[in-house]
Every structure is written in C-alpha cells, then in structure tokens.
Amino acid sequence: MMKVAVLKETFPTEQRVALVPANVPQLAKAGIEVLVEHGAGQAAGFLDAHYVDKGAQIAARDELFSADIIAQVRTLGANKDAGREDLAKFRGGQFVIGMCDPLGEPGSAVEIAETGASLFALELIPRITRAQSMDVLSSMATIAGYRAVLLAAIELPKIFPMLMTAAGTLTPARVFIVGVGVAGLQAIATAKRLGAVVRAYDVRPACREQVESLGGKFVELPLEAGDAQDKGGYAKAMGEEFYRKQRELMASVVADSDIVITTAAIPGKQSPLLITADAVQGMSPGGVIVDLATERGGNCELSRADERVVAHGITILGPTNLPSEVPNHASQMYSNNVTKFLLNLVKAGNVELNLDDEIIRDTLVAHEGQLLDARMRDILGLPPLAEPETQPEPAPEIDSSSQDAEANSTDTDVDDDSGEHAKETDE
C-alpha cells in the first residue's frame, strides 16, 4: 500500500494537524496506509488512540520519513526555521504535500527539489469547480474571518446588537470589512449574526451581490478600478495612485466605524496599505482594528504582526495564524482538503502524475530536482524550463512477404496520422 505520513507540526504556535482520524478509513479504501507521529493531533483534540481506532499506525518521527508521501500543514516555506530540521530527511521519489508559501518563499521549494523529493504546494490549488473540495486557502480563510470578528468583539467596549431595555436603548456596533474574499464574507456573516450593522468594501464591484446577500451594505468609493480581478478570482495589485485615493476616501468610512477588519492581500506581494495612522486617529476611542494581512506588511499603517498595539485609543490586532486558534475544526477542514487531493493523486495504490490534470500540474512545484512553477522561477530570476522535445514515432516495420500491400496500408496510416497531428497542433 502507498504510505502517507502525518508529521507533528513544528511551527511555533501551530496546533493543526494535516489529517484527522475520520479520513483514515476513506484513504485506506483507496490503498493508502496512514502513519501518524505520536501526539501529532493532540493539540487539535485528536489523540493517538483515535487514529489507531480508525486504522492508522503511530510511529516515531524519524520512522515516518520512509513513507511515500509526507503530509504537513506547514512544510519548509511556511515554516522557515523549524522546518529546516526535516530537510535532510526527504529523499528522491518521495512526495511532500502541504502549504509552503510558494510565491513568498520560492527558494524553499528549490531546497526541497535538491533533495530529490517532489513538492505539492496546496496554496496553488486552481479555483475551478472540481477543485473546490481541495481549496485549503478558502477553508482556512473561513476560519480566520470568523475568528477575527470574535477577537474584535472581545476587545470592543460595546456589545454588537441593538438592545432596547428598561435601562435605555443600546445602539448596534458598526463593523466595516475591507476585502470581500472568503475571509471577508465569513466576517460579514459572523458580525451580522452577532447583531452588528455591517458595511464592506472591495475593489471588485462584482462583490456587491455577495455582501448584500449576507445582510451587509456594500460601500462604493468613486474610483476607477478597471480589471481588478485575476483569472483565479483574486484581487490584483493596483497602482500606488489608486491606493492613495482609496485611502483618502476610505478614511471617512473608517472614522464612522467601531470595528474595522481588513483582509486585503495579494498572493506573493506586499499587502496594500489602506488605513493610515491619520485614519486610525479619526476613529472614536475604544475602536478596534483587526488586520488579517500583517504577514505581508499589513493593511493598517500601525499594525504589527502578531502584536496588540494601542494607538490614539484604538486597539489594533495583527494575528497571522488565526486558523491555529481553532485547531479542531480547522484541522477537519484542512484534512478533508488533503484527503480529496490524495484521492485525486493516488490511483490503485500508486501516485499518478497526470500533468493533463490542472490540479496536479498547477500544484506540483518541484519534481525530479527541478523547480517547475514558472512564477516561482521568475521571482528567483531563473530562466524558463526548456520545453521537452517531441520524439518522432518510429516507422512501422514492413513484412517483406506482402510488401506492396503493406506499403499501401502504411501510406494511408501515415496520411491519417499526419492529419490528426495537424489537428491537435491547431487546437
């Protein structure tokens, strides 16, 4: 059977696990045996006994590197320091699956490639219908958006809902969500459920319908955004002049909010600065900002990664790993994503590298000692990989006993094949 090893995460504060016990029987049916490091799921509420009950084996960490596939939440690129301890244990013919910050830390993929192991970057799952069940970014963003609202609610010296009581009427909290991706949508839904008045803004006007469907009000700024969305559905980086005007216009909305949650991030690039120090100062004392983009610089000028900053009477939070703070459900979602990915990758107990499948092709960033992803190579200044040469098919052998008949038949076959080849080339 194909063996998949689940390592205990070594990134500081990381409490998630790559596979949960519930997915073990599903993988076993597909010819995949699951090996789990002792204590790998404990922080998320999954004990070794739970894995054993579902058919997994518990093993020491060093023993797991003999497995065919290594499954992690954070592999080297997303775990730059502690992840390096595992690098020498990878080997040729092995597959590593996990989040690796491919566009932010492409050099780490090169290091894994040099071990001979192949690397699948789960952040690069294409946004197509067939891959929705494997989309780890959307799964983890859902958790982050929910958690961000709860953190803000704890810090805010008000409650969210409007209450009419004998002691008077309490007005509802005003929440402003910047960025209407998966995290932003979940933040809108959560804040609305808690009773807040919710407004949201995104550079992509198409998001209006989604905001309104959740009970929020879409904020329009008089800006010419043009084509603000890439083919994957993500917001594109805009020019500095655009962001300058955006900051100016957004300041009045920020000033009228009790809570601001920012989620605007560009894959592999610096997060756009959207809220200046002056805009923070314009908020009423006691306000809260939760900046979910601090891992790449932040959307708020005053936010700091994984720090709680108080400035001008405003509390500013910059969490970078909120899914880990909800490790049980975050692990369940991530594990379901990984399981679907494995079932698509492993056929009849063997890894099938079908590069005609865009899910496999787009996520396979390192293979046979090479960095494959064109964007990652470009970031590192590496030349494009040479296209493999197409070898001509050998001519069919002719039976001399019926040379004339075979010759006629061969001529017909060559013509047919040439026509079919031309058709494929045109397509």
Q: Which residues are catalytic?
A: 127, 132, 135, 138, 234
d(CA 342, CA 19): 11
Two tokens, residue 69? 């596939």
Name beta bridge partners: 178.
201, 262
Q: Which helix or strand (DSSP H or E) is residue 260 part of?
A: strand 259-262
Per the listing, tokens 């004392």 go with 285
For the stretch 345-352, contacts whose Cβ atoms lie closer than 8 Å and that sit 24 or more positions apart, written own/partner, are 345/120, 346/2, 346/30, 346/31, 346/32, 348/31, 349/1, 349/2, 349/30, 349/31, 349/32, 350/2, 351/2, 351/68, 351/69, 351/95
Q: Mutual orientation of helices 136-155 and 327-345 as an angle, nearest 10°?
A: 170
Total Cβ atoms within 10 A of residue 246: 21
Question: What are the CA-CA distances from residue 201 to residues 138, 178, 264 (Å)?
Answer: 19, 5, 10
